[in-house]
Structure 1
Amino acid sequence: MQGGMLYKKSFTHPLLRCLSQEEGLHVLKEIHDGCCGSHIGTWALANKALRVGYFWPTMKQDTHYLVNKCEKCQKHATLINQPAEPLNVMLSPCPFSQWGMDIVGPFSLALGERKFLLVAIDYFTKWVETEPLARITEGEVMKFIWKSIICRFGLPRELILDNGRQFKGRRMQDRCAGLHIK
């Protein structure tokens, strides 16, 4: 007890100020919904209240109740019952032999009405090649692969692409097969 206030010892702070349940709910709502609030989930919200320096006996239950009532928390919460997917390491045997490609955008219009970005990343060196595009076509992708990858770094062994039609067209498949690119 200091200055008429009750405090609790803590491992993380010298002292945590003890609150009533009403005061605690007010603090939780401010952390959760206030100007700097965030929908971070039950445990993170309770830990944030502890880090700020507050404690009350029903803190965990109150936090659980508040988060369960919040629609945004329900929408954006991590799925607890969803099993974690194992990550697979993609090894590349040597530089510039394996490239990953994708298209990013649309962005706001740039010079020449370009609003998409074609991105290629070498899996070994993490080298990035990009090209702004106005339209996404199979021809533009093939031109980019020839100019920015093959002419600069040699024939890749493999291109890793998504199933976009600009990557899966007949001309693209024929060109890759002719150059022995997987």
Structure 2
Amino acid sequence: MEEEPPTKPNMVPAIGQEVLTLDTDWCSPIIDFIKNNKSYPKGKEHKKLARRSSKYVIIGTKLFKHSASSGTLRKCITQDEGIRLLSDIHSGICGNHTSASTLVEKAFRSGFYWPTALADARNIDSHIFVAIDKFTKWIEVKLVTATTAVKAAEFIEEISHRFGVQCHVERANGLILQGLKARIFDPIKKYGAKWLQKLPRVVWGLRTQRSRASGYSPFFMVYGFEAVLPSDIAFGAPRTQNYNENKAEATRCTDINSAEEHCLTASMQHARYEQQLRRYHNHNVHERDFNVGDLVL
């Protein structure tokens, strides 16, 4: 095949630069090569582009790539489109905050492709903001790409509209970290990205777990009834077996009318719990007198 010189010098960037510089229009050199056989003046670069272009095909005006596993065609999209696609899969309406490799697998299985997919997926939601309501103990978690002041302000504004401003952060962090450590810690295998997969389960477990401070689960304090767990259905819990759909509305009305009573009971339990904590703390505090000039560590 005879090489044709490009119409403009340096029209196509080097092959390696397409990924390193994350060129959003990475499809253009391949489309240009397939349609017009435009390439580099040097034969070595021409061979690289020809070898790479052999995996692609043009249908109409769109570029498609042959899948290495199934041989099906995947639509090639820009990096900006790919990032938006990953964000929608990760945290959209049907998102489930999975790991980077799982995100890329879902995107490819949907029929899309771009060369920086895995690197882009690793940069999505690598940090979390956590807060817990002081009374109900309901935990709110938000995954973010970076812990900036703007993101923090948005998170605080969201939870303030829902719960007010009485939220604890340190306690919620400790509970979540404790739950994650028990699920993902492995001294032999790497577990750096597994926390994204386990986080929803840990948060759900804490929301449905009875709190010593209130005597109720956070789910009950927010919704007025206990959550139906998968184990309740699998093992036939009495409340699932005795459920009567015809009486569901009347039962719900009873729960709503009893909500205030449960809140008062939780308030008294919370007060007793705080008194126990105060006595425990004061028991371990020893009074000491200091004079001017004493050295204190």
Which TM-score tier does this pair reach, normalised by the shorter chain? 0.3 to 0.5
TM-score, scaled to structure 1? 0.41
Larger fraction in strand: 1
* Structure with max Cα Rg: 2
TM-score, scaled to structure 2? 0.26
| Higher RCO by CA contacts (8 Å cutoff, separation 6 or greater) | 1
